[in-house]
A and B are shown apart, each in its own frame.
Chain A
Amino acid sequence: MNYQDFSKKELVDEVRKVTRELEEARDLLQAIRKGEIDAVVVSRVHGEQIYVLDDANITYRKMIEEMNEGALSFNQAGSVLYCNKAFAGLIGYDVDQVISKPVIDFIDSGFHEFFRQILVQKFPGPVKKSIKLLDKTGKHIPVMISLNNILIAEMDVFLMTITDEREKLYIKKLALHQLALEKLTSKLRAAKDKAEKAVNELKEKNIDYTILNEEYIHINKILAKTNKELMLSKQKAERSDMLKSAFIANMSHEIRTPLNSILGYTKMLLDSIDDEEQRKHIDVVIHSGQHLLHLIDDIVDLSILESGEMKIVETQVDLNDLMCKFKNQFHAYAINRGKQHLDFRLQLPGNGNDGPVIYADEFRLQQVLNNLLSNALKFTEKGFIAFGYKIINSGKDLMFFIRDTGPGILEADRMIIFNRFEQGRRPSGSVVSGTGLGLAIAKGLTDLLGGKIWLESEVGEGSTFYFTIPLKMVKTPDVTKQVKEKRLKTGIPRLAGKKILLSEDDLFSREMMIYILKKTGAELIIAIDGRETLDKFKENNVDLVLLDLRLPEIDGYEVLKEIRSARPETIVIAQTAYAMLDDIRKFKEVGFDDYLLKPVGDSELFTVLHKYLG
């Protein structure tokens, strides 16, 4: 370039232009160095490439993370890749409990097929659908989902937003109530008009209309009353869900009390009868009664699980001990059911001697194992039932397994088998007995304990049920407790010389307890209300008190307090017909040594007596 060709003005302009461009280039570099930018655009052969700075995506992330609408992505295998807080919150989990899990774990089984279709077949394009989610407690949540499918880094990814429709459905319901209300109002208004017209007509005809006037006032009153009733019924509907739990608790109490008497007296009857035929009949009565009792327990458990009110109480558990107990118990059950040829195999890791002592909710853990083992025993006619546990995920989780050589589970049934009231069919097609609650409870409980439950099955070969719980090792096991638990004896305890105070207001229950307790040879002191219990407690130096909780005069909890302040070393066992297990867990907290659940059977009572007086 030859500057002599430029005029002075042109030169000045040129210098200005270059200076400005230099300034801009300097600004650009400074901005980049200071990180004042979001992205850099680079020209490449295939077009413009945008390089985004690390934190440039934070707004998107925040938006999706914090928006008040569920967002979820999953891969072609159906595993959750990402979910936001709103979604996790909707189903009662933490975000990290959802990610990596199968998406259908959080969706009501009725819509599993829809998801399978979408995953397996070609995606038809963006789709909206009303479905139901399954929250942590197993409750259904109606939602609207919107699904799309995109490629991210050559990976097929499904994007889903989830809108809570409970509010909408509720408003819909309210609108229906409103509509009904309006309809009724207009009907009554028409009636009112008609009446007024009639009154006027009569007036014209000079007839005394006081009576009709009264009628008119009466109609108005009905109108007001109906309006009020409609409002009340709406409120009632809202309360009914809350009342459900209370109702079930109450019902179970009401059913258990008479069952208590039926079972107890039948057992007494059994002892006094020698005729084989009659004994068989009575056995049937006892068996049916016990079945009914199990059913009540199951329904109560499920209702507590559903209401999300079941709490976890963790204590130290010697795992191998627990498993051995189960082996003996189920071996005995098998013999009882004429399946003595079944081989029960307990498979423990290592040499099976020094099992881990863990923190776990022993009661709930036992319940899950019990339900799964009962299930295996029910279906297995020959071969073996093998069960045990393994430590997996490098010590993070415990995995229990229950393997049987039963008929196996049809593939179509494997998904529904954990649903409430649903049962699989036997591959032979015959109907299965039972309530269909056991596995639903097992699933609800494993969810509650923070684990998973699943099964593998081969028709004709057998089934294996697995469930996991988080492994929490105890560093310094409490030895005394275990030793105590280990020395459980059965059979009639010999308690001559011991004094037992029995406190029970219900005549039938009392008679039954006396009948059982007499076998032990202990000295019995009887009280029929709270006041008498305290009086007799003060008069006699008793070793053990069997205390009913619902006592007249002074209730069981008050009696306990007085006993504890007078002679704290006395053993006090609660006995109650409350079947709400949650209540029962409280007994130990308030200071009972143990509890017995009505109807109290010989073996339960003897076990407790062995434990504390033996």
Chain B
Amino acid sequence: MEQQNGDIKKELHGDKKYLLRLYITGSAPRSLIAVNNITQICKNHLVDYELQIIDVYQKPNLAKEDQIIAIPTLVKVLPLPERRIIGDLSDVEKVLYSVELL
């Protein structure tokens, strides 16, 4: 299959510590809430981070590579190990735990 979007680089731009990737479907309600929540969490708790928001409608291939099953899914790509959280990310503690900040 053609991979227009190329492989997802598991590398950080510059020397940032965190690479987070949130998969959404357009502005579906839980996707919308998830975007809102993750931007808040990043702003309040992270310093060195890169947040990628990926709309699977626009880039379906990326979802395949990351083996995404349900939307919204947040993938903590870096630092390893990789972690993923499903849902609208309204449980801040849980998100922070998975991102290993707690």
Contact A57 B28, beta carbon cutoff 8 Å:
yes
Our pick among A41, A43, A50, A59 for the contact of B29 (Cβ within 8 Å) is: A59
- Determine the residue in chain B with the shortest Cβ distance to A57: B28
> Which residues of the other chain, A, contact B60 by a CB distance below 8 angstroms?
41, 47-48, 50
| Shortest Cβ gap from B66 to chain A (Å) | 10
Number of B residues, CB within 8 Å of A:
28
Contact B29 A56, beta carbon cutoff 8 Å:
yes
> Which residues of the other chain, A, contact B30 by a CB distance below 8 angstroms?
36-38, 56
| Cα–Cα, bound, A445→B61 (Å) | 58
Residues facing A in B60-102 (CB within 8 A) are: 60-61, 63-64, 68-72, 81, 83-88
| Cα–Cα, bound, A15→B64 (Å) | 26
Contact B63 A59, beta carbon cutoff 8 Å:
no
Our pick among A36, A47, A50 for the contact of B25 (Cβ within 8 Å) is: A50
Which of A24, A39, A53 counts the most B-chain CB atoms under 10 A from its CB? A39
| CB-CB under 8 A for A50 and B56, given A32-B70, A39-B71, A40-B70 | yes
B51 at the interface (CB under 8 A from A): no
B39 at the interface (CB under 8 A from A): no
> Which residues of the other chain, A, contact B27 by a CB distance below 8 angstroms?
59-60, 63
Our pick among A38, A43, A57 for the contact of B71 (Cβ within 8 Å) is: A38
A231 at the interface (CB under 8 A from B): no
- Determine the residue in chain A with the shortest Cβ distance to B27: A59
**Could you mark each residue 8-32 of chain B with 1 if its beta carbon is under 8 Å from any beta carbon of chain A, else 0?**
0000000000000000111111111
Contact A28 B64, beta carbon cutoff 8 Å:
no
| Cα–Cα, bound, A31→B85 (Å) | 9
| Shortest Cβ gap from B93 to chain A (Å) | 14
Contact B25 A31, beta carbon cutoff 8 Å:
no
**Could you mark each residue 33-69 of chain A with 1 if its beta carbon is under 8 Å from any beta carbon of chain B, else 0?**
0001111110100011010110111111001000000
A-B contact count (CB 8 A): 86
> Which residues of the other chain, B, contact A31 by a CB distance below 8 angstroms?
70, 86-87
A17 at the interface (CB under 8 A from B): yes
Contact A38 B83, beta carbon cutoff 8 Å:
no
| Shortest Cβ gap from A195 to chain B (Å) | 65
Number of A residues, CB within 8 Å of B:
26
Our pick among B31, B71, B81 for the contact of A40 (Cβ within 8 Å) is: B71
| Cα–Cα, bound, A52→B26 (Å) | 11
- Determine the residue in chain B with the shortest Cβ distance to A63: B27
| CB-CB under 8 A for A41 and B32, given A17-B81, A60-B26 | no
> Which residues of the other chain, B, contact A57 by a CB distance below 8 angstroms?
28
> Which residues of the other chain, A, contact B29 by a CB distance below 8 angstroms?
38, 55-56, 58-59
| Shortest Cβ gap from B68 to chain A (Å) | 5
Contact A50 B57, beta carbon cutoff 8 Å:
yes
A197 at the interface (CB under 8 A from B): no
A27 at the interface (CB under 8 A from B): yes
Contact A41 B63, beta carbon cutoff 8 Å:
yes
> Which residues of the other chain, A, contact B87 by a CB distance below 8 angstroms?
31, 36-37
Residues facing A in B33-63 (CB within 8 A) are: 56-57, 60-61, 63
Contact A38 B24, beta carbon cutoff 8 Å:
yes
| Cα–Cα, bound, A20→B32 (Å) | 27
**Could you mark each residue 184-213 of chain A with 1 if its beta carbon is under 8 Å from any beta carbon of chain B, else 0?**
000000000000000000000000000000
| Cα–Cα, bound, A17→B81 (Å) | 9
Contact B86 A38, beta carbon cutoff 8 Å:
no
Contact B25 A56, beta carbon cutoff 8 Å:
yes
> Which residues of the other chain, B, contact A40 by a CB distance below 8 angstroms?
69-71
| Cα–Cα, bound, A40→B72 (Å) | 9
| Shortest Cβ gap from B58 to chain A (Å) | 11
Which of A41, A43, A59 counts the most B-chain CB atoms under 10 A from its CB? A41
Contact A48 B72, beta carbon cutoff 8 Å:
no
| Cα–Cα, bound, A31→B69 (Å) | 11
| CB-CB under 8 A for A24 and B83, given A38-B24, A38-B25, A39-B56 | yes
Contact B86 A37, beta carbon cutoff 8 Å:
yes
- Determine the residue in chain A with the shortest Cβ distance to B86: A31
| Cα–Cα, bound, A39→B32 (Å) | 13
| Shortest Cβ gap from A98 to chain B (Å) | 26
| Shortest Cβ gap from A312 to chain B (Å) | 42
Contact B83 A39, beta carbon cutoff 8 Å:
no
Contact A43 B28, beta carbon cutoff 8 Å:
no
**Could you list 8 further interchain pairs (A-B, Cβ under 8 angstroms) beyond the known A39-B28, A39-B70, A39-B71?**
A27-B85, A36-B87, A38-B30, A38-B72, A47-B60, A55-B29, A56-B31, A60-B28
Interchain residue pairs with CB less than 8 A apart (14): A20-B81, A28-B69, A32-B70, A32-B86, A37-B71, A39-B25, A40-B71, A41-B56, A41-B68, A43-B64, A48-B63, A50-B25, A50-B71, A57-B28
Across the A-B interface, the 5 shortest Cβ-Cβ residue pairs:
A38-B28, A31-B86, A56-B28, A48-B60, A36-B87
